[in-house]
Structure 1
């Protein structure tokens, strides 16, 4: 090649670089300074020429401006220099879990006026938090936990009027809690915040009365493990939205305010290890309380309070060293879900009688009391009882198991899924799917639990399923599986769980994969199951990155010439592809002649052939691959139709495959008609059909996978999910909306014909989705009044009018829904021990008495209270739905309106929605993600390319 030609090509290449350099000049200079002078160990592709144009890892851009830096867990070293505050369009800064990032925050951080998310979790920053942080008016999420920040909490934080999440846990902050005084702002001004996390610091002084206001929407107040003194302010009882309260491990004194009884939504209350005095508080109003710890205080001597036994949602009662005396009433141990009772070091005496109706594997620790006898009952469930240092054990020695130290709980570890692990290389681990890989590891830390039985593997299995489904399906991250191990509580009563994330389709993560996992966790996008409460992720440094290709900076002239030559090759390939496509089309036409779906127009609706919106035809080999050859490990249920298997699509989305058994299979045309029916219903409260398989004599329907199982599983306690009154109302509303859509908006209308609790599925947000349309019937114009058909359905839910006349109407679904409402109320199956739920309610009900005299029939896990808002209207509506005559029943749209009114009476917005289970982590335009732990007025977080978009807005 001649010199002139080389010069010409070089000049073209340089012009190309100039055109491609899209990053704003100022932003480019700042990032280059961070790369060259301040940070070490930055991603390798930062050697490329242009941050936005060359897609620097961790850098998000909008119109040439840098809008996000997300480098969680990258092993960065250095400091956060003031240079970064020149990125004036920056909205998100996530440098979490870079333990070698040190030094103070720049005092100019307040210049980042558009910053909405600031996450520096698990780094090594130190020094004071700059007062200028109060200038970040757009800030919604501020997470500075697990660093070494010292000094006072800046009062200027009170100026952050949009702040939702405030986490300063595990630092060295000291001084008093700042509140406004007319001249200075304070935390009491944060009326939109839902999270005050200040545990594990050195805060001192009294808790200001002014800190809490009735117009606050706080749900988590965590001030545990500080040096706070004085009394607990009674203004705390004004914040009725509270769900988790922790003031344990301080030096608080005085009595517990009596108006804490107003906190009817509190699930966990920790007041232990203080100097509280006075009478033991009566907390009867905390009807949904599951975890209560008041140990190691100086309350007045008293007998075991009778109100303990009325707390029907209680799982854990911790009353060590609280001056309790007398005999423990046996009915205390009959609370349905009670797991742990610790009353060590008190003055309890007499004979211990646990009764016979306590939960299996109940743990009772009464060490160091004055108990002289124990009534052992044959046939009672197993109990872990400790009576060491009581008179009974001083007489018996160690002859009895309860006079010996209890054995430690066997450590939990995720099981492998019916496969043999292959031998792995050094530093690799075998995933639950028996694939060798280099996992991304760390620790999940949960700061408040609603359970205490750490040996119950069901809880960890629920968490595993929840994490896997969320990361694969909702956030679309490259996760094959996760593994949990070594659950234990640390000295601060936080649950710690080791976690391993295994990469999908490869043995290593790239940097984007690791930072995306960290971002989802540090930005509090992922919401754990309600059992586990608030959490954070402490990630380890990942050492095994799969590096991408070479640098654009080193592109050679030869590559450019090769690209030109490739153009000729492309033309030839296009010609070949055209010929090949023609032959493939002819081949497919012949193959489809015997297929009932051969002439199905997938793209337009005409006559009886509806448009398939997203439903596709899968081959048998595809489905076999997705379910690991229909392995037992993927078998998640069965019914009259056949079995249901869990599967995973190549993009990581979880699916449910309903596989017909040979004896139940329909003809091809009938199967086709069922798919047509399902493919034209699309509603957020209906389970979505993704596709079907009609291959090799198989009939299979492929649905979205709904992670939290059926409503029936929740009501029976099978899946460990506890449903309070408001959640049950929301589930009823969601199911009603799904049915109303089928009856009134589907064209033609559809009657479900099998509404029951096992056909109502709960997604990751516990939103209801109506499922299983195997018995559904569509109504043509000639069948507007009814369909005469063979009676099908489930006993107990079946409309008696339909049973007698064989005339199916939409009111038949209404009857079944009314039975479902009563099942939600009682937690009982429609027919149980020969008793029919509808008849039982009608027999016992007395409208002149409280709760219509239904107290004994109400499911105790709701959290029994005389203030179940809308209770009477709910019962009235359910009984209208189960009237003998269909003409006397409401329509489903009327049912929807009535339940919406009940929710409004309870002070909630019935139209506030949780995040869509089908939202894509990769595409902000297709859906937002609901912020965790929020009630109905929370925030949604949008995404673009796996990172936050420029704005976070309340719903």
Structure 2
């Protein structure tokens, strides 16, 4: 009935034309169709005249809609196929709306005048429609940071006016398409300047045909894929190139000599491949700032001469590249040099950096080489790391260079250099660099290839801030100031900077300004200095006007009724009022249903406070009937797990997506706090190594969570042999790395940071490729304003619980690190943390003998790990695990340090840390005995109060 009433209202509305209306009726119909599919539309999207009414984000020309820019609005829903009716549309920017999902409609190819299609940082999925190739006017195609799957459409090669092509950070597979007879390909894009394809799952070779001398490309970013074969010599034909990132792939063979034809390249990243042959000769590439050739299989090579001739060099990274010989003094004298990282090579002789070294030089990392002497002249006072060299076996002056460096705090924040008097702001506001309290617009700037490595150099960020302010002023946006903070390098070697934009003349931005700020950043209108290189921005939903948006929903039907009532008379008036009454009645029933739902949520808390209602960011609410249908009426055949909380069912949503539906026992409200916690936390964290929350149900006294379906069960089941899957040494390393990356995301990138509190093998799930995902957030805690620790009731699982946390009741990220250390030990022993009165941590401590092979741990290790094979990196792995379970939290590593250590161990084992674990389930080396178990069963989701709170100590 709902859709029929809406359709009738729209038909009557658009057949009645107003003399003052300024918007084409087809465009109005299309926008209203879109509006009906979306939640949280701008507050002034009312009436039947978007152009005349000044709808936020809508730009018109001669009554036709030519632009839709709605970034960071908190929009939720799918993109209607009716968008094809906006035939004059030239720009569509829906960036930074994580609630926008589903596939792109095929009809988008009808927008033949579209020049900008920008959907950065949404949740769109499915294949990129081949009809994209029909948008012949397209200049900007930015689909990065979504969940698109399938292959790159060859039809993109038809977009002869394309300037910017960004498909990075999706789930694209297949090969890079090139033209073949009548089939187009990306080699036809001779006017395109940007190829951004990083962080996908592209495979196959890089076709030599892809590059030609006709091209004017300046960025080729193919990092973090699964590309194989050699680097094509034709790359050297594109002499306009400035940034080349081919790192973190499976590339092999010699680096082509034509590479040094690229004399305009300033950033060159070829690390983490399996390249062979001689170290490439980069002589003549005089503008090179950043070179990273680490972790390849080059021939043993003497120190190349070009080390000393590249005057623009800021960063030289060549770890694990078999360099040998003595380092010349001249290589340290490049005037801009900041970092030299040459650890794990065969460098020998005497180290003498001389007295003419660069004033910018911050780090010289020569760990694990064969340097026998060091000439200390007294002029260099920054970091010099010589641990693992023969010179460190001597005592004396070099001792300070032979210990690991201490961790430093984030090196920069705008607010630390303010000149104004600090102010105390309300809890929901922040102080700007000009000491004014306001609601800033926030997000993260990601720089894919910065030309520097000294993250503590504040002059870079001051320059960037000034550039941002200048751009905002150019577009006459009411911006008072900007704040940049917490510069960090992630595991993909991207520079991340937190950005806050503060309003001018008011404490908050309006919706129109937010859409314009978002468009400026998503459309690459802002151009940072070349120091920072290519970037993208991921904005957060701006919550300062969220209340206004919600209130607007109730006014839409009123406004609609007034317009129709004023325009119609006689029979039409009666008809419209009748339909409007039916529509209002229906809306009232929907509102009552929502209110009842919220009352149910607030009933979890005895105070009935509205603050107990989950703060949702993207999780979908399902009705009971929807989930009943998806699980075949909760049939026993669909049951895939059970526990104290209830049962778990395999379900299939109408779009074909497989889900796991965790259903509480009928009528039971046990675990309500944990239920709400898991909804709130999982709905705002998104990472490939965290289990995704699809939605939840709180309807008809039912309490259900809906997760992505993870087919290969828990790590606990695999280690115990129940799943039939065998994990050898390399697969266990990958499980460890994936789990660590998920935890590191929670600690370092969630805002505020999240502490899991229940890391254990039963909460690590394995997908179809045996990649690990961290699950079960029922006990998790957000740090909020507590920067160092959170005093809270002790909860956790026996054997994994951090003893320091138990004793002090002060929860920190290091409590998760301890639990993860126990998990690392369980991963190689397949033993429960506490088994027959023996505690695994204590057993390892008393058994380790570093003078013996495998530290003398043969009797404790799981035979399925492959004891008859070479366990490369095993000792380093054990050292890491024992580091994680140090008694004092301050002595343990951070999870980001754990990630780097595991990546290093995998490289020692000859593995690519960024490759997938397995290609198909058939390669796992085991069977499940005919009945597949599922990760959501048993105690892994038991919220019935059975978590042990007892003190845990080694016995």
Name the stretch that deviates more: 459-468 or 401-410.
401-410
Written as runs of structure 1 = structure 2, the 5 A alignment for 1:374-385 is 374-378=374-378, 380-385=379-384
Question: 1:326 Cα shift?
Answer: 1.3
Cα distance in 1 for residues equivalent to 2:192 and 2:32: 36
CA drift of 1:47 comes to 2.0
Contact 1:209–1:234 (CA under 8 A) maintained in structure 2 = yes
CA distance in 2, matches of 1:86, 1:334: 62
Alpha-carbon shift at residue 178 of structure 1 (Å): 0.2
- The verdict on how the C-alpha distance between 1:300 and 1:46 changes in structure 2, with shifts beyond 3 A counting, is same
Asked if 1 retains the 8 angstrom alpha-carbon contact of 2:47 and 2:560, the reply is no
With over 3 angstroms needed to count, the CA separation of the structure-2 counterparts of 1:281 and 1:32, relative to structure 1, is: same
1:398–1:75 Cα change, 3 Å = farther
8 Å Cα contact 2:138-2:161 kept in structure 1: yes
**Equivalent residue number for residue 535 of structure 1:** 535
Tell me if structure 2 keeps the 8 A contact 1:359–1:381. no
CA distance in 2, matches of 1:96, 1:426: 28
**Other-structure match for 1:23:** 23
Q: Tell me the equivalent position of 2:334.
A: 335
Write the distance in 2 (CA, Å) between the matches of 1:375 and 1:381: 11
**CA contact 1:72–1:97 (8 Å) conserved in 2:** yes
Which residue does 1:441 correspond to in 2?
442
1:501, distance to aligned residue in structure 2 (A): 0.3
1:497 corresponding residue in structure 2: 497
Q: 1:200 matched to which residue of 2?
A: 199
1:21 Cα deviation after fit: 1.6
Question: 2:131 corresponds to which residue?
Answer: 132
Q: Which residue of 1 aligns with 2:454?
A: 453
Q: In the TM superposition, what are the counterparts of 1:509-524 in structure 2 within 5 Å?
A: 509-524=509-524
Shift of 1:417: 2.9
- Partner Cα distance (2:404, 2:165) in 1: 42
**Hey, what does 1:66 align to over in structure 2?**
65
In 2: Cα distance, 1:50 partner to 1:341 partner: 62
Measured in 2, the distance between the counterparts of 1:64 and 1:326 equals 73
Q: 1:454 offset after TM fit, Å?
A: 0.7
Q: Provide the residue aligned with 2:291 in structure 1.
A: 292
Cα drift, residue 229 of structure 1: 0.4
Match of 2:665 in 1: none
Q: Deviations over 1:84-106 (max 9, x none)?
A: 12111100000000001000000
What is the CA–CA distance in structure 1 between the aligned matches of 2:238 and 2:230, rounded to whole Å? 17
Establish whether residue 232 from structure 1 lines up as the match of residue 231 from structure 2: yes
Tell me, in whole angstroms, the C-alpha distance in 2 between the residues paired with 1:434 and 1:443. Answer: 22
User: How many Å apart are 1:382 and its aligned residue?
Assistant: 2.5
State the Cα deviation string for residues 41-62 of structure 1 (Å, max 9, x = none): 1011112331111011011111
The DSSP-based 3-state class of the residue aligned with 1:202 is coil
What's the CA shift for 1:405?
A: 1.4
Q: Which runs of 5+ in 1 are unaligned?
A: 1-13, 558-955
Unaligned 5+ runs, structure 2: 1-13, 563-955
State the partner residue of 1:314. Answer: 313
| Aligned residues of 1:398 and 1:404 also touching (Cα < 8 A) | no
Return the offset for 1:392. 1.5
Tell me if the contact between 1:397 and 1:403 (Cα under 8 Å) persists in the aligned partners: no
- How far apart in 1 are the matches of 2:355 and 2:482? 39
Deviation at 1:420, TM superposition (A): 1.6
**CA drift at 1:555:** 12
Q: 1:399 to 1:372 in 2, by over 3 A?
A: closer
- Tell me which residue corresponds to 1:579: none
Kept in 1, the 8 Å contact 2:35–2:41? The answer is yes
The one-character-per-residue Cα deviations of 1:176-220 (angstroms, maximum 9, x if unpaired) are 100001120000000000000000000000110100010000000
**Larger of the two Rg values belongs to structure:** 1
Q: 1:117 and 1:339, CA in 2 relative to 1: closer, same or farther beyond 3 A?
A: same
Quote the residue 1:104 is aligned against.
103
Alignment of 1:748-827 (within 5 A): none
> Is residue 400 of structure 1 aligned with residue 404 of structure 2?
no
Q: Is the 8 A contact 2:33 2:80 kept in 1?
A: no
Deviation at 1:399, TM superposition (A): 6.9
- State the alpha-carbon separation in 2 of the partners of residues 174 and 555 from structure 1: 46
2:46/2:559 contact within 8 Å kept: no
* Superimposed CA distance per residue, residues 256-290 of structure 1 (whole angstroms, 9 cap, x where no aligned partner): 11011111100000000111111111111211111
**Kept after mapping to 2: 8 A contact 1:254/1:276:** yes
Question: Using the alignment, how far apart are the partners of 1:398 and 1:48 within structure 2?
Answer: 79
Shift of 1:346: 0.3
Separation in structure 2 between the aligned mates of residue 458 and residue 403 of structure 1, nearest angstrom: 31
Mapped to 2, the partners of 1:85 and 1:452 lie a distance apart of 46
1:488 matched to which residue of 2?
A: 488
Per-residue deviation at 1:404? 1.5
Aligned match of 1:118: 117
Partner Cα distance (1:246, 1:275) in 2: 15
SS at 1:501's partner residue? strand
Output the CA distance in 2 between the equivalents of 1:362 and 1:54: 57
Q: RMSD value over aligned CA atoms?
A: 2.1
1:398-477 matched pairs, under 5 angstroms = 400-411=399-410, 412-415=412-415, 417-472=418-473, 474-477=474-477
CA distance in 1 between partners of 2:57 and 2:105 (Å) = 21
Corresponding residue number in structure 2 for 1:52:
51
Contact preservation (8 Å) 1:80, 1:101: yes
- Aligned partners of 2:362, 2:395: CA distance in 1, in Å? 23
Which whole-Å CA distance do the structure 2 matches of 1:554 and 1:253 have between them? 65
Q: 1:747 maps to which residue? A: none
Query: Alpha carbons of 1:57 and 1:329: their partners in 2 closer, same or farther (altered >3 Å)?
Result: same
Corresponding residue of 2:525: 525
C-alpha change, 1:90 and 1:556, in structure 2 (3 Å) is: closer
What do the CA deviations read for 1:653-681 (whole angstroms, capped 9, x no partner)?
xxxxxxxxxxxxxxxxxxxxxxxxxxxxx
**Matching residue of 1:372:** 372
* Partner residue, 1:678: none
Whether the 8 Å contact between 2:374 and 2:398 is mirrored in structure 1 is no
- Cα-to-partner distance string for 1:843-876 (whole Å, 9 max, x where unaligned): xxxxxxxxxxxxxxxxxxxxxxxxxxxxxxxxxx
- Give TM-score, length-normalised by structure 2: 0.55
Q: Is the 8 A contact 2:171 2:200 kept in 1?
A: yes
Mapping of 1:537-552 within 5 angstroms? 537-545=537-545
- Pairing of 1:865-884 with structure 2 (within 5 A): none
1:244·1:448 contact (CA, 8 Å) conserved in 2?
Answer: yes
Q: Partner of 2:142 in structure 1?
A: 143
- Deviation readout 1:289-325 (Å, 9 max, x if unpaired): 1100000111110111112100011111000000001
Taking the aligned partners of 2:461 and 2:365, their CA distance within structure 1 comes to 24
After superposition, the Cα gap between the structure-2 partners of 1:397 and 1:497, relative to the gap in structure 1 and judged at 3 Å, is: farther
Q: Deviations over 1:718-740 (max 9, x none)?
A: xxxxxxxxxxxxxxxxxxxxxxx
- Report the Cα distance in structure 1 between the residues aligned to 2:462 and 2:380, rounded to whole angstroms: 24
What is the rounded CA distance, in whole Å, between the counterparts of 1:398 and 1:136 in structure 2?
Answer: 67
CA shift for structure 1 position 364: 0.4
Which residue in 1 is equivalent to 2:572? none
Superposition misfits of 4+ residues, deviation over 6 angstroms:
14-17, 548-553
